């Protein structure tokens, strides 16, 4: 068994912006509220954090700030993936230097490299650091899907310890689990599949839902771990309307709007992301009200 980074619900945290940059004061407030709400890990500068539109300095400063703010209370996992291997290495080394506990590294997007290229890419990054890596498989965004034999090969590396599996393919998750066993922990990358992936031996979720409902996401996992499988499943099913609303437009558009409605200064979305369509915002508001998150 390799190093365990966390079990439960880690939040894929938003990045609150001003017109001029990152709103660090509000990011700190969100981090504190997440920890108070039971979040099991902070995942900074991921997709939900709008890392794709961050400058290099913003990316680095967000990681450094999160590490310092959390101060060891729960793990901080830094999103350091890129479609340029050399840049991903440099950013990963930086994240380690400033104290990140682990890295989340997405498949290289747009290039659409081969499976051989994936092995080389991730291995090069893992060889450059001394902290654990979570692979991030999200073919709907990157155009690349990690195949089961590739997972087996990557799991041989001592620092490649887990995957955030966001393909939505539960059959693939079962095959990964069968092929890799305890050499690769699996986290759900989809909030509507937390319990199904836990049932296949998953370790938890890297969650968008946790931004607005950290206790809910944590408790779905904790109930399952405590043997309260029906309670966990009931919570998962009850949350589906809220999860659907949080993904009724491309992430992170709905969750940033939701965070504003919860009273956070989440700030603007960065182009090419735009504000929600009115009918989708109504759907989101209705779900937030139904779960008692707003009045």
Catalogue the active-site residues: 136, 164
- Compute the distance between CA of residue 32 and CA of residue 23 in angstroms, rounded to an integer: 14
- Compute the distance between CA of residue 1 and CA of residue 43 in angstroms, rounded to an integer: 23
- Compute the distance between CA of residue 89 and CA of residue 271 in angstroms, rounded to an integer: 26
Quick one: 237 exposed, middle or buried, by C-beta within 10 A (0-12, 13-18, 19+)?
A: exposed
Exposure string of 139-160, with b = 16+ CB inside 10 Å and e = fewer, is eeebebbbeeebbebbbebebb
């Amino acid at each position: 068994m390799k190093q365990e980074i966390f079990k439960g619900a880690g939040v894929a945290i938003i990045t609150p912006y001003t017109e001029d940059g990152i709103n660090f004061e509000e990011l700190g407030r969100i981090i504190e509220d997440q920890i108070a709400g039971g979040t099991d890990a902070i995942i900074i500068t991921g997709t939900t954090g709008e890392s794709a539109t961050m400058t290099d300095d913003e990316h680095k400063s967000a990681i450094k700030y999160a590490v310092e703010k959390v101060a060891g209370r729960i793990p901080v996992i830094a999103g350091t993936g890129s479609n340029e291997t050399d840049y991903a290495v440099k950013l990963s080394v930086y994240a380690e230097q400033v104290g990140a506990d682990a890295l989340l590294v997405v498949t290289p997007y747009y290039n659409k490299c081969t499976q051989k290229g994936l092995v080389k890419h991730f291995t090069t990054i893992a060889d450059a650091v001394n902290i654990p890596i979570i692979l991030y498989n999200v073919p709907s965004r990157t155009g690349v899907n990690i195949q089961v034999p590739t997972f087996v090969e990557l799991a041989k590396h001592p620092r490649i310890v887990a995957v955030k599996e966001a393909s939505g393919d539960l059959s693939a998750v079962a095959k990964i689990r069968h092929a890799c066993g305890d050499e690769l922990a699996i986290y759900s990358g989809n909030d509507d599949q937390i319990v199904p992936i836990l049932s296949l031996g998953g370790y938890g979720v890297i969650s968008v839902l946790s931004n607005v409902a950290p206790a809910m996401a944590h408790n779905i996992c904790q109930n399952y771990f405590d043997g309260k499988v029906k309670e966990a499943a009931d919570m998962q099913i009850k949350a589906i309307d809220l999860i659907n609303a949080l993904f009724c437009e491309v992430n992170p558009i709905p969750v940033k709007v939701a965070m504003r409605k919860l009273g956070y200064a989440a700030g603007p979305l960065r182009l090419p992301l735009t504000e929600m369509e009115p009918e989708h915002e109504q759907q989101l508001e209705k779900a937030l009200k139904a779960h008692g998150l707003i009045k």
